[in-house]
């Protein structure tokens, strides 16, 4: 399943929308705690990720501590499903990924080169996200490809889009009419960026024999 989420800045909130799926992130700077929300099709709050410990947040503004703790994911976010606490983010220092633990599931969000983010559920890749490089007037665009057989609720992916935007591509304190974001550097797990859902891999495997047959016919034609 492929979806495109577009971020807009509305009334001090970022909104992320794709058809019936929607998430929000409060536009915060400085010492303010962050809160991310995903809504279901009835426009009710389905999932939340929010920071709740203000004193831990203050630690990230002590000189050098922000380099140790990581300003994006510290203090940890607590995860709620329909208002019930179900887990939290795990602090990962000096890492290009985030871990979200919830009940019997563990999600890993890993930042790759070229603005790719792989999403793993219990060590199995279930989705791939890519952010478009250009941002115009605070408008970010994310392309999501998800395996519906591995993800029960796409609303959760909406929440992850907001989390990716806030943590991996944080907003600047000043407003830019246009800017460019592109992640670069060595990527040991680059093969994850070539991932496709099972349904798409199945379609390719069915088409492969036909492609081979056509190649053989072309080879025979030009050899005659």
pLDDT at 29: 67
Consecutive H or E run containing 6: strand 2-10
Provide the 3-class DSSP secondary structure of residue 133.
coil
80-94 average pLDDT score: 85
Residue of 11, 6, 86, 12 whose CA lies nearest to 50: 86
pLDDT at 209: 54
75: pLDDT confidence band, cut at 50, 70 and 90? confident
222: pLDDT confidence band, cut at 50, 70 and 90? very low
Other beta carbons within 10 Å of 146: 20
99-126 average pLDDT score: 94
Q: What is the pLDDT of residues 19-61, one digit of tens each?
A: 899 999 987 766 678 899 999 999 999 999 998 876 666 665 5
Using DSSP bridges, classify how beta strands 124-131 and 21-26 pair: parallel, antiparallel or unpaired: unpaired
pLDDT at 175: 66
Q: Are 30 and 57 in contact (CB under 8 A)?
A: no
Burial of residue 175, with CB atoms counted within 10 A of its CB: 0-12 exposed, 13-18 middle, 19 or more buried = exposed
Q: Are 130 and 117 in contact (CB under 8 A)?
A: yes
Provide the 3-class DSSP secondary structure of residue 30.
coil
Give the tokens for residue 148.
């519906």
Selection from 3-7, 48-52, 173-177, 196-200 with the highest mean pLDDT: 3-7
Give the tokens for residue 186.
């060595």
**pTM reported for the whole predicted model:** 0.81
Residue of 16, 11, 48 whose CA lies nearest to 33: 48
Q: How far apart are CA 2 and CA 208, in angstroms?
A: 22
Residue of 103, 143, 110 whose CA lies nearest to 125: 110
81: pLDDT confidence band, cut at 50, 70 and 90? very high
């Amino acid at each position: 399943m492929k979806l495109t989420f577009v971020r807009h800045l509305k009334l001090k909130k970022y909104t992320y929308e794709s058809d019936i799926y929607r998430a929000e992130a409060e536009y915060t700077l400085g010492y303010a705690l962050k809160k991310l929300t995903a809504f279901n099709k009835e426009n009710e709050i389905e999932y939340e990720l929010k920071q709740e410990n203000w004193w831990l947040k203050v630690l990230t503004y002590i000189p050098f501590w922000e380099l140790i703790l990581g300003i994006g994911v510290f203090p940890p976010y607590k995860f709620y499903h329909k208002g019930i606490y179900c887990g939290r983010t795990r602090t990962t220092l000096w890492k290009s990924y985030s871990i979200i633990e919830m009940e019997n599931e563990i999600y890993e969000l890993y930042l790759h080169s070229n603005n790719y983010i792989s999403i793993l559920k219990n060590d199995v890749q279930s989705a791939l996200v890519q952010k478009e490089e250009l941002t115009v007037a605070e408008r970010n665009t994310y392309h999501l490809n998800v395996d519906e057989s591995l993800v029960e609720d796409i609303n959760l992916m909406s929440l992850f889009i907001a989390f990716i935007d806030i943590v991996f591509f944080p907003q600047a304190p000043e407003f830019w009419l246009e800017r460019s974001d592109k992640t670069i550097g060595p990527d040991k797990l680059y093969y994850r960026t070539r991932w496709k859902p099972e349904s798409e891999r199945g379609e390719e495997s069915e088409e492969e024999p036909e492609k081979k047959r056509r190649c053989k016919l072309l080879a025979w034609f030009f050899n005659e």
